[in-house]
Amino acid sequence: MQDGFGRKIDYLRISVTDRCNFRCQYCMSEKMTFMPKSELLTLEEITLIAERFISHGIRKIRLTGGEPLVRRDMKDVIQRLGRKVATGELEELTLTTNGSLLTEYADHLAAHGMRRINVSMDTLDPDRFSEITRGADANVVLDGIESAKSAGIRVKINMVAVRDFNEADLLPMVEYCAKNGHDLTIIESMPLGDVGADRKLAHISADEFLAPLRDHYSIAPIAHRSAGPARYVSVEPLGLRLGLITPLSNNFCDGCNRLRLTTDGKIYMCLGHNAHIDLRAAVRKDGIASVDQLLQQALRLKPLRHDFNAQLEGSAEILERHMNVTGG
């Protein structure tokens, strides 16, 4: 598949639930209102829509949320999509999780074709972890990461950079990841949803966030690429592969290869735009055959780039939807 700008689209992110057992401060407000179950895609709808995307050239699928593993039928979702990996129809099935339920799920993920996952963890410090997540236990996540590693799943840690909060946590995280064989990705915070805080004050560029690391280690660009938007550097002599996702300081839209399917069945062509196609309504009214036409429409409507910088500066309207609805 190609969009209107000639970019190859082969990556789909599916948000299977907007619910989460954490309340990370840059992602959600403390008191969230979640969607009623009737608005969520069913297991059958997720599977059928994913199959149509795969038939049109999607080769990689990432399951996200909210926290995807809190969905009650998540083991069935993983098993059904894992069959597509087993048959070769899908190159990769991956997951982004907060890690809190990995001890329970790790063996199931590995048994159904997952070879790598992303775990969101912004600090190893138990007190700061509890603060940023509004009450979660860092040790539960670390135990989950160990369970995934023991099951043969490669783990990449996603660390959101937050000014005046976790700059001092970068070095301990880098050394933890290097010691345990995990990749690490630094992500700039993005202006999505009203979380009850001034996002401009919290934002810090990846380059500024990495400054303390350069005082201790050598950083050099490398050619490695993953399915997502990260550019990679090596941290030596640790041998750490460090990814940088920089939607504000170093735009990566020219190489965008993805679409997003939200919890309630909408295709968002860009995380930073409100334009979308409502697949759930079409599927429930006209059946799965309507997906093909709407998918082509979505490709034509995919914008060239996002407007996060303008939104952060206040010259463009902040998007109302939270990250947990669209998917991380």
156 is in an annotated binding site: yes
Query: What are the backbone dihedrals phi and psi of residue 169, each rounded to the nearest 5 degrees, phi first?
Result: -90, -5
260 is in an annotated binding site: yes
Task: Tokens for 202, please give them.
Answer: 């919290």
128 is in an annotated binding site: no
User: Longest Cα pair distance anywhere in the chain, in angstroms?
Assistant: 59
Annotated binding residue 253: yes
Q: Which amino acid is at 228?
A: G
177 is in an annotated binding site: no
Query: Is 31 annotated for ligand binding?
Result: no
Q: Is 120 annotated as a binding residue?
A: yes
Q: Give the span between the Cα atoms of 325 and 275, in whole angstroms.
A: 14
241 labelled binding-site residue: no
Q: Which of 81, 63, 75, 71 is nearest to 17 (CA)?
A: 71
62 is in an annotated binding site: yes
* 258 annotated as ligand-binding: yes
| Residue 24 assigned ligand-binding role | yes
The region, left, alpha or beta by phi > 0 then psi within -120 to 50, assigned to residue 286 is alpha
Query: Has 41 been labeled as part of a binding site?
Result: no
Q: What is the DSSP letter of 318?
A: P
267-279 burial, b at 16+ Cβ within 10 Å, e below that, comes to bbbbbbeeebbeb
Determine whether the annotation assigns residue 232 to a binding site: no
184 and 235 in contact (C-beta within 8 Å)? no
Residue 188, number of CB atoms within 10 A of its CB: 23
84 is in an annotated binding site: no
Give the closest residue to 312 by CA, choosing from 165, 198, 196, 159: 198
Is 285 marked within a binding site? no
Helix (H, G, I), strand (E, B) or coil at 74: helix
- Reference 326, options 244, 227, 258, 249; nearest CA is 258
Residue set of the binding site for [4Fe-4S] cluster: 20, 24, 27, 253, 256, 270
Residue set of the binding site: 13, 20, 24, 26-27, 62, 66, 96, 120, 156, 190, 253, 256, 258-260, 270
Residue set of the binding site for GTP: 13, 62, 96, 156, 258-260
Residue set of the binding site for S-adenosyl-L-methionine: 26, 66, 120, 190
